[in-house]
């Protein structure tokens, strides 16, 4: 097998979404086509028969609202994947959903299959409803919160992803209060980005990194002080990337061919950043390397390796490695952000890099320096207290 | 080596030993434990423009050297002995009740460093971290 194994499959069960968020990057969110079970079967048969899967494989059902497809579809898909998988491979299914359709039947499915559930909610109603709207322009907060309440009532573990806007960035306490009131314990932040046809207004803010740093510091401290937030992705993942033994290797699966396999609802296969699927660019076409209904993964991989897309992503990673002191916590960034922010894949730093990697890394390193200094001071005070008193 | 260089080297070795000792005490708590400790000393971090690129690379390298050293301390069990004056900081700290996980039984060996980006930012991707 060439390259690193596939550790994440992002499958678009349907491109359709029941809502129409202002910042959405998906171009085909009105397309109601649903992926065929035969297509799903082809993906996993190829993946497992070709021994391409990593021992832990995350399957994310996303890129459209996954819950508009019936629970029966997933029950059948999960059973089929389970039949196909080798014993040594552990498959974890995950949904990223707007939460509006969650009911008891969905909770039964989540619990029965230990599904990872991520709910997209941006905060209190005023913040959430400013961007997350129905097609008729109405807010979706109430329905999302009803879904979260159902998850809590049924003890289904979940995390939330909140897109940060100008309004939420300035008030970390308001956001924290919202999570605490809603019983949300695991949070992830995405700063509104420029991707596809969406141009982020937030990225125009000149002092965005400083504003984000201030936000994240305050949120982290207050969340820890509350004792009720168990996971803040931006901090916890930064800690894992920074505090690793010297010999531990890292992989950035967004820049390794086929480390992430991204499958569209009609079987089209892409790799690297999942957001590429469905987008078009005059240099790289539709970012698709084949269709799983007609092509083997070996063929798709060969096309990928020979593509200008891979060539330019590789050049961008090499440039990052040569120039950027944060390379060891990042591994070359997110290609989709390089393309849509810098206009080139063979470029280096993006605003996304600054926010997703640099700010949390600086914050954690700075905190660690403070911790070491504080403990040294305490040890010194402790030692001097134990010294015999001269009378 | 000049006297100034010797003093500087001594300071650097001392700092990195302190870092390893602190880490040997907190790493058993896993990522959640370390996050809890670090949040107390977090402040609006030094902006990247104010820190040289070389300094950031060096800091990351020295932290990882300290993690490796801490791993050795942890595996040798030294930090459990309060009689060893060289690990006084770690011993004192551990007795404060930080130990609630473990290298092999917490959030570290089971997720964390082996995937840089750890996936993709439109997925929380935390399922194997807790």
- Closest listed residue to residue A184, CA positions, set A129, A216, A213, A147: A147
**Dihedrals phi, psi of B125, to nearest 5 degrees:** 50, 35
pLDDT band at B101 (very low <50, low <70, confident <90, very high): very low
- Whether this model's pTM surpasses 0.90: no
- Closest listed residue to residue B128, CA positions, set A331, A159, A161, A66: A159
Half-sphere exposure of A247 (CA within 13 A, CB side): 3
Full domain range(s) for residue A114: 1-391
Distance of alpha carbon A91 from alpha carbon A82, whole angstroms: 8
Report the residue from B41, B57, B88 with minimal CB separation from A325.
B57
Report the residue from A233, A245, A365 with minimal CB separation from B124.
A233
For B14-47, what is each residue's pLDDT tens digit?
667 788 888 888 877 778 888 999 998 887 555 5
pLDDT at A36 over 90: yes
- The partner residues of A10 in beta bridges, in order of sequence, read A60, A262
Mean pLDDT, to the nearest integer, of A190-195?
A: 74
Q: Which of B38, B51, B55 to mutate to test the interface with A (most CBs of A within 10 A)?
A: B38
Out of A12-16, A45-49, A151-155, B75-79, which region has the weakest mean confidence (pLDDT)? B75-79
Chain A, residues 229-248, CB within 8 A of chain B, namely: 230-233, 235-237, 239-248
Q: What is the mean pLDDT of chain B?
A: 59
* pLDDT value for B54: 78
**Strand pairing report for A53-61 and A90-97:** parallel
Distance of alpha carbon B30 from alpha carbon B103, whole angstroms: 7
Distance of alpha carbon B68 from alpha carbon A243, whole angstroms: 9
Q: Please list every residue in chain B whose beta carbon sits closer than 8 Å to the beta carbon of residue A364.
A: 38, 42
For residue A374, count CB atoms less than 10 angstroms from its CB and return exposed for 0-12, middle for 13-18, buried for 19 or more: middle
A330 Cα to chain B: minimum distance (Å)? 6
* pLDDT value for B25: 82
Number of domains composing chain A: 1
For A209-259, what is each residue's pLDDT tens digit?
999 999 999 999 999 999 999 989 899 888 888 888 887 777 788 899 999
Helix H or strand E encompassing A6: strand A6-11
Angle separating helix axes B3-26 and B30-41, nearest 10 degrees: 130
The enclosing domain of A290 has a CATH number of 3.20.20.70
* pLDDT value for B109: 30
pLDDT at B118 over 60: no
Query: Which SS3 state, helix, strand or coil, does residue A256 take?
Result: coil
* pLDDT value for B82: 36
Q: What spatial distance separates the first Cα and last Cα of chain B, rounded to whole Å?
A: 49
**Dihedrals phi, psi of A291, to nearest 5 degrees:** -125, 130
Percent of chain B with pLDDT over 70: 39
For A283-306, what is each residue's pLDDT tens digit?
999 999 999 999 999 999 999 999
In this complex, do A231 and B126 lie within 8 Å of one another by their Cβ atoms?
Answer: yes
In this complex, do A372 and B43 lie within 8 Å of one another by their Cβ atoms?
Answer: no
B4 Cα to chain A: minimum distance (Å)? 22
pLDDT at B113 over 50: no
Cα nearest neighbour of A4 on chain B: B115
A328 touches chain B (CB under 8 A): yes
* pLDDT value for A241: 85
Q: Please list every residue in chain A whose beta carbon sits closer than 8 Å to the beta carbon of residue B19.
A: 368, 372
* pLDDT value for A387: 63
Mean pLDDT, to the nearest integer, of A59-86?
A: 96
Chain A, residues 105-134, CB within 8 A of chain B, namely: 116, 118
* pLDDT value for B105: 27
Alpha helices in chain B (DSSP H): 3-26, 30-41, 53-76, 88-93
Q: What is the mean pLDDT of chain A?
A: 91
pLDDT at B6 over 90: no
For residue B39, count CB atoms less than 10 angstroms from its CB and return exposed for 0-12, middle for 13-18, buried for 19 or more: buried
Cα nearest neighbour of B89 on chain A: A379
Query: What does R_g of chain A's alpha carbons equal in angstroms?
Result: 22
* pLDDT value for A204: 74
B56 touches chain A (CB under 8 A): yes
B110 touches chain A (CB under 8 A): no
Between B86 and A268, residue with greater pLDDT: A268
In this complex, do A221 and B44 lie within 8 Å of one another by their Cβ atoms?
Answer: no
- Closest listed residue to residue A361, CA positions, set A247, A243, A248: A243
Distance of alpha carbon A8 from alpha carbon A186, whole angstroms: 21
pLDDT at B124 over 80: no
């Amino acid at each position: 097998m060439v390259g690193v194994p596939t550790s994440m499959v992002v499958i678009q069960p349907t491109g359709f979404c029941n809502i129409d968020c202002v910042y959405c990057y998906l171009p085909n969110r009105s397309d109601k086509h649903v992926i065929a079970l035969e297509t799903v079967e082809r993906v996993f048969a190829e993946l497992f028969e070709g021994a391409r899967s990593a021992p832990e494989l995350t399957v994310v059902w996303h890129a459209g609202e996954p819950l508009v497809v019936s629970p029966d579809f997933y029950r059948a898909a999960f059973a089929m994947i389970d039949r196909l998988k080798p014993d040594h491979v552990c498959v974890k299914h995950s949904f990223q959903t707007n939460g509006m359709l969650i009911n008891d039947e969905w909770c039964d499915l989540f619990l029965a299959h230990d599904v990872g559930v991520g709910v997209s909610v941006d905060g209190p109603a005023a913040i959430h409803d400013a961007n997350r709207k129905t097609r008729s322009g109405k807010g979706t907060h109430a329905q999302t919160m009803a879904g979260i309440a159902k998850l809590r009532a049924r003890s289904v573990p979940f995390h939330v992803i909140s897109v940060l806007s100008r309004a939420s960035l300035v008030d970390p306490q308001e956001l924290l209060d919202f999570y605490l009131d809603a019983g949300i314990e695991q949070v992830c932040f995405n700063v509104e980005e420029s991707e596809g046809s969406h141009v982020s207004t937030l990225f125009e803010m000149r002092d965005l990194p400083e504003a984000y740093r201030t936000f994240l510091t305050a949120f982290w401290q207050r969340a820890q002080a509350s004792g009720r937030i168990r996971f803040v992705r931006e901090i916890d993942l930064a800690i894992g990337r920074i505090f690793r033994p010297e010999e531990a290797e890292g992989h950035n699966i967004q820049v390794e061919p086929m480390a992430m396999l991204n499958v569209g609802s009609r079987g089209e296969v892409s790799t690297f950043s999942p957001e590429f699927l469905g987008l078009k660019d005059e240099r790289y076409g539709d970012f698709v390397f084949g269709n799983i209904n007609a092509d083997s993964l070996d063929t798709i991989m060969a096309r990928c390796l020979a593509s200008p897309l891979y060539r330019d992503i590789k050049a961008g990673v090499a440039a990052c490695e040569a120039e950027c002191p944060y390379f060891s916590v990042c591994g070359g960034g997110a290609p989709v952000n390089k393309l849509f922010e810098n206009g080139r894949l063979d470029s280096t730093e993006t605003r996304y890099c600054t926010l997703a990697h640099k700010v949390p890394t600086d914050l954690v390193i700075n905190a660690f320096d403070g911790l070491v200094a504080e403990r040294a001071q305490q040890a010194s005070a402790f030692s001097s207290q134990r010294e015999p008193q001269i009378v | 080596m000049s006297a100034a260089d010797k003093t500087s080297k001594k300071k650097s070795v001392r700092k990195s030993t302190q870092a390893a000792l602190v880490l040997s005490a907190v790493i058993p708590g896993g990522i959640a434990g370390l996050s809890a400790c670090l949040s107390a000393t977090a402040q609006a971090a030094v902006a990247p423009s104010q820190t040289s690129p070389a300094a950031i690379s060096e800091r990351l390298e020295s932290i990882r050297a300290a993690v490796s050293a801490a791993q050795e301390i942890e595996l040798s069990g030294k930090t459990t002995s309060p009689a060893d004056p060289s690990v006084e900081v770690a011993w004192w700290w551990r007795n404060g009740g930080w130990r609630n996980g473990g290298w092999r039984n917490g959030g570290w060996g089971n997720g964390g460093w082996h995937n840089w980006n750890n996936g993709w930012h439109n997925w929380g991707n935390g399922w194997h971290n807790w």
